[in-house]
């Protein structure tokens, strides 16, 4: 039922054109045959007139208003769809730019359609001042979040800080790809296939990590511990060799390996290396480099220790020995 009512206000595709054409034909035929005069006289009788104070609304006014509203909004929807289709074919424009132009055009078009509808129905446009005041009160109370999300969505499109197909991470740990931006929310597809609707306001007011804002490179960090009896220079060389051999590793910045700590049970190294496309994932390169380090250490006889504790028990002299 909801989708049907929405289609009456904003029809899509060929169905909208057929409805518009059929309605125009019906109105023209009825007007040329004189049937509209009969309908107007019947629907304007006092019995079908509703009086509210000094304002009198006939059934004819109501029917005419619905027809005018439908025709104007159907025409607006068709024009909007045509412009949106044309913009999609402009490959020179970025996706966010096309979305921004489409949204601004749709807003302007529907505002103009609303004003035209009021004028065709014979309503005084000065009544918009009262309507604007009521709308302002509504925005200040019930529609505050909706208007905030809408404005935040426009800011995101203008700044281009979060774009379609970007890999982002939110403060609560949710990470995924931006799939669609709308007036109220941004759709994020997580790495495990979930679709999360994030209000646009959250992307403006909170700290957001965008892994692909200016480039797709990503750094991977791996901690490795070796035994105190190992050759530390050889261990460092093998760690760097494992990182350089991986096909996803880039040469600039080059892999780096640092000795970070003399621990209780091991000498701790930290490996840092960069991959070209973080969108393809970081876990697979990290896992494969760790497997390579394991194999190289085992072939070289370098041990990766585990925590050990030596327990010494001292026996106290018995009371009889005193």
Tokens 């749709």: give the residue: 106
pLDDT for 275 beyond 90: yes
Task: Tell me the mean pLDDT in the region 277-288.
Answer: 89
Residue 198, strand partner residues? 186
pLDDT at 115: 73
pLDDT at 78: 73
pLDDT for 29 beyond 70: no
> Could you give the CA distance from residue 21 to residue 28 in angstroms, rounded to a whole number?
11
> Could you give the CA distance from residue 186 to residue 198 in angstroms, rounded to a whole number?
5
**CA proximity to 238, closest of 190, 271, 205:** 271
> Could you give the CA distance from residue 59 to residue 55 in angstroms, rounded to a whole number?
13
108 is written with which tokens?
């302007």
pLDDT class for 184, splitting at 50, 70, 90? confident
The tally of CA atoms less than 13 A away on the side-chain side of residue 212 is 19
Say which residues have a Cβ less than 8 Å from residue 15's Cβ, sequence separation at least 6.
7
Q: Coil, strand or helix: which one is 191?
A: coil
pLDDT at 24: 60
pLDDT at 159: 78
Q: Coil, strand or helix: which one is 186?
A: strand
Q: Coil, strand or helix: which one is 259?
A: strand
**CA proximity to 257, closest of 229, 276, 279, 233:** 233
Task: Tell me the mean pLDDT in the region 273-294.
Answer: 92
Task: Tell me the mean pLDDT in the region 71-79.
Answer: 72
Yes or no: say if 203 and 218 are a contact pair by the CB < 8 Å rule.
no
The tally of CA atoms less than 13 A away on the side-chain side of residue 315 is 4
> Could you give the CA distance from residue 38 to residue 47 in angstroms, rounded to a whole number?
16
**Helix residue ranges, H only, the chain:** 2-9, 13-32, 35-43, 59-88, 95-120, 128-140, 144-159, 200-205, 232-245, 283-300
pLDDT at 288: 95
Tokens 């759709």: give the residue: 187
- The packing angle between helices 144-159 and 95-120, to 10°, is 140
Tokens 């509209």: give the residue: 36
pLDDT at 33: 66
> Could you give the CA distance from residue 246 to residue 10 in angstroms, rounded to a whole number?
53
pLDDT for 274 beyond 90: yes
**Helix residue ranges, H only, 268-315:** 283-300
| pTM flag (> 0.75) | no
**CA proximity to 303, closest of 235, 254, 246:** 235
Yes or no: say if 80 and 13 are a contact pair by the CB < 8 Å rule.
no
pLDDT tens digits, residue range 212-250?
888 888 899 999 999 998 999 999 999 999 999 999 999
Question: Could you tell me the fold of the domain covering 159-210?
Answer: SH3 type barrels. (2.30.30)
**CA proximity to 277, closest of 220, 223, 222:** 220
**Sequence spans of domains, the chain:** 2-123, 159-210, 218-300
Q: Give the lowest-confidence range in 80-89, 139-148, 267-276, 290-299.
A: 139-148
pLDDT for 284 beyond 80: yes
pLDDT at 97: 63
Task: Tell me the mean pLDDT in the region 188-209.
Answer: 89
> Could you give the CA distance from residue 84 to residue 106 in angstroms, rounded to a whole number?
9
Higher pLDDT, 135 or 255: 255
Q: Give the lowest-confidence range in 18-22, 154-158, 188-192, 301-305.
A: 18-22
**99, burial (CB in 10 Å: exposed 0-12, middle 13-18, buried 19+):** buried
- Residues in the chain, overall count: 322
- According to CATH, what is the number of the domain 218-300? 3.30.70.100
């Amino acid at each position: 039922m909801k989708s049907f009512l929405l289609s009456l206000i904003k029809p899509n595709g060929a169905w909208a054109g057929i409805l518009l054409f059929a309605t125009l034909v019906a109105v023209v035929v009825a007007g040329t045959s004189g049937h509209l005069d009969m309908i107007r006289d019947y629907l304007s009788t006092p019995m079908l007139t509703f009086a509210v104070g000094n304002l009198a609304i006939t059934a004819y006014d109501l029917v005419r208003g619905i027809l005018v509203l439908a025709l104007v909004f159907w025409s607006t929807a068709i024009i909007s769809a045509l412009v949106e289709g044309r913009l999609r074919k402009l490959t020179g424009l970025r996706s966010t730019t096309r979305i921004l132009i489409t949204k601004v055009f749709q807003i302007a078009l529907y505002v103009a359609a609303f004003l035209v509808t009021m004028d065709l129905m014979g309503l005084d446009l000065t009544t918009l001042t009262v309507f604007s005041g009521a709308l302002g009160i509504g925005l200040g109370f019930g529609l505050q979040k909706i208007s905030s999300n809408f404005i935040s969505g426009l800011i995101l499109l203008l700044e281009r800080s979060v774009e379609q197909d970007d890999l982002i991470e939110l403060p609560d740990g949710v990470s995924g790809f931006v799939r669609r931006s709308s007036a109220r929310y941004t759709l994020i597809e997580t790495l495990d296939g979930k679709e999360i609707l994030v209000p646009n306001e959250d992307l403006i007011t909170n700290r957001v990590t965008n892994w692909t804002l200016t480039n797709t490179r990503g750094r991977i960090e791996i901690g490795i511990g070796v035994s105190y009896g190992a050759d530390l220079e050889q261990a460092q060389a093998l760690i760097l060799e494992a990182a350089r051999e991986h096909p996803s590793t880039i040469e600039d910045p080059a892999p780096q390996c640092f000795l970070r700590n003399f621990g209780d049970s091991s000498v701790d190294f930290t490996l840092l290396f960069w991959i070209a496309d973080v969108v393809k994932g970081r876990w697979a390169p990290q896992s494969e480099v760790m497997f390579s380090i394991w194999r190289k250490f085992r072939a070289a006889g370098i041990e990766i220790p585990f925590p050990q504790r030596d327990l010494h028990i001292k026996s106290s002299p018995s009371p009889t020995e005193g």
